[in-house]
């Protein structure tokens, strides 16, 4: 396995939720982190044009834009609103020079218990978005989310599902492999290998024991039970040697610390335990 240096590190801005995008960009420059992945709320706050200039002026790469998706809705009108918003997300990803647009696909629509229908809505939504994404040459990265998010965030919960969607939808779509979401999967090695040529991103953090919150208690790499080097090996064996994002939602720990302390820790752990 290749030695990992911060030359492959990308900061997902959710990791330092206490920072604005401007602070994230300046923090990356200050800590020698060569890339970042902004969330759209922070991007809008700073302004897309301003952000694009700041990112470029600081020589940063953009591993992805977080996030498009949320394709599911109780009615056609809701799905159209989501599609329009996703087309805007593609445009923003282009504007900031992102390598891809990450898709968190959406859960089961309010009032429904039909998981199959939700999954069909996701397939159709991505299919409709693909015309615009292909025209813009912006790859779409389907990110399977942990099954604890099936209901409210994403009904694509395994790499097998994401790979099946890629097979069905064709060019322009790939997968984002997030260690937190897929580490438990008995088919992990098989499905990462199957994703060869379509891996658009690799995200790391750690699964804490105990985990006190479904969404906001992710751990710093090394503080949990995920065998990150083993997963990195799988991803590299599948040909992905691109940027690796650190994305940590941690309301009660890392989000309460000084941003520079967080980023220093990210760099140190990235080089030593991933």
3-state helix vs strand vs coil in the chain, percent to 5: 45, 15, 35
Between 90 and 109, how does the x/- string for binding to a copy of itself read (CB under 8 A)? ------------------x-
101: CB partners within 8 A, 6+ apart: 64, 65, 67, 68, 89, 90, 93, 133, 138, 139, 140, 141
What is the nearest approach in angstroms of a copy of itself to the Cβ of residue 168? 14
Q: Strand, coil or helix: what is 65?
A: strand
Interface stretch with a copy of itself, choices 27-35, 93-101, 126-134, 151-159 (CB under 8 A)? 151-159
The residue from 7, 135, 225, 241 that contacts a copy of itself (CB under 8 A) is 225
The nearest distance, CB 155 to a copy of itself, in angstroms, is 8
* Neighbour count for residue 85 (Cβ, 10 Å): 14
Q: Determine the interface stretch with a copy of itself among 65-73, 149-157, 233-241, 248-256 (rule: CB under 8 A).
A: 149-157
Q: Which two tokens stand for residue 229?
A: 């080097």
Binding of residue 186 to a copy of itself (CB under 8 A): yes
Q: From the list 3, 75, 77, 113, which residue makes contact with a copy of itself (rule: CB under 8 A)?
A: 113
- Residue located via tokens 């604005």: 20
Residues present in the chain in total: 274
For a copy of itself, the closer of residues 49 and 110 by Cβ is 110
Task: Please pick, from the candidates 178, 185, 191, 247, the single residue that binds a copy of itself as defined by CB under 8 A.
Answer: 185
Given its phi and psi angles, is residue 155 left (phi above 0), alpha (psi -120 to 50 degrees) or beta?
alpha
Nearest distance from C-beta of residue 74 to a copy of itself, angstroms: 13
233 binds a copy of itself (CB under 8 A): no
CB 52 within 8 A of CB 97: yes
Report how far residue 36's alpha carbon sits from residue 19's, in angstroms, rounded to the nearest whole number: 13
Two structure tokens written together for 142: 């389907």
Q: Does 227 bind a copy of itself (CB under 8 A)?
A: yes
Residues 23-42: x where in contact with a copy of itself by CB under 8 A, - otherwise, as a string: --------------------
Residue 68 CB, shortest distance to a copy of itself, in Å, is: 22
Q: Is 1 near a copy of itself (CB under 8 A)? A: no
Asked whether position 147 contacts a copy of itself by CB under 8 A, the answer is yes
Question: Which DSSP state fits 217?
Answer: B
- Contact in structure between 75 and 67 (CB atoms under 8 Å): no
- Residue pair 95/56 in contact (Cβ under 8 Å)? The answer is no
CB of 64 or CB of 156, closer to a copy of itself: 156
Residue 16 DSSP symbol = G
- Confirm or reject binding of residue 160 to a copy of itself (CB under 8 A): yes
Choosing from 15, 86, 99, 161, the residue that interacts with a copy of itself (CB under 8 A) is 161
Which residues are at the interface with a copy of itself (CB under 8 A)? 108, 112-115, 119, 146-148, 150-152, 155, 157-158, 160-161, 183-186, 207, 209-211, 214, 224-227
């Amino acid at each position: 396995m290749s030695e990992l240096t911060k030359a492959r590190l990308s900061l997902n801005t959710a990791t330092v939720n206490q920072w604005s995008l401007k602070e994230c960009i300046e923090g990356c420059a200050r800590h020698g982190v060569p890339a970042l992945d902004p969330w759209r709320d922070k991007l809008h706050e700073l302004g897309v044009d301003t952000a694009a200039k700041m990112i470029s002026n600081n020589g940063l790469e953009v591993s992805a834009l977080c996030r498009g998706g949320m394709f599911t809705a109780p009615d056609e009108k809701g799905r159209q609103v989501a599609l329009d918003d996703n087309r805007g997300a593609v445009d923003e990803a282009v504007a900031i020079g992102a390598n891809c647009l990450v898709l968190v696909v959406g859960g089961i629509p309010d009032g429904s218990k039909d998981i199959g229908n939700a999954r069909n809505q996701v397939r159709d939504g991505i299919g409709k978005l693909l015309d615009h994404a292909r025209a813009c040459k912006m790859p779409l990265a389907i990110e399977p989310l942990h099954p604890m998010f099936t209901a409210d965030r994403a009904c694509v919960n395994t790499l097998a599902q994401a790979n099946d969607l890629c097979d069905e939808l064709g060019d322009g779509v790939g997968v984002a492999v997030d260690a937190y979401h897929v580490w438990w999967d008995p088919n992990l090695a098989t499905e990462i290998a199957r994703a060869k040529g379509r891996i658009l991103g690799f995200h790391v953090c750690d699964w804490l024991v105990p985990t006190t919150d479904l969404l906001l208690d992710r751990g710093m790499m090394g503080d949990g039970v995920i065998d990150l080097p083993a997963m990195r090996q799988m991803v590299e064996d599948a040909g992905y040697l691109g940027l690796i994002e650190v994305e940590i939602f941690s309301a009660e720990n890392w989000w309460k610390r000084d941003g520079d302390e967080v980023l220093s820790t990210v760099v140190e752990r990235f080089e030593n335990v991933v």
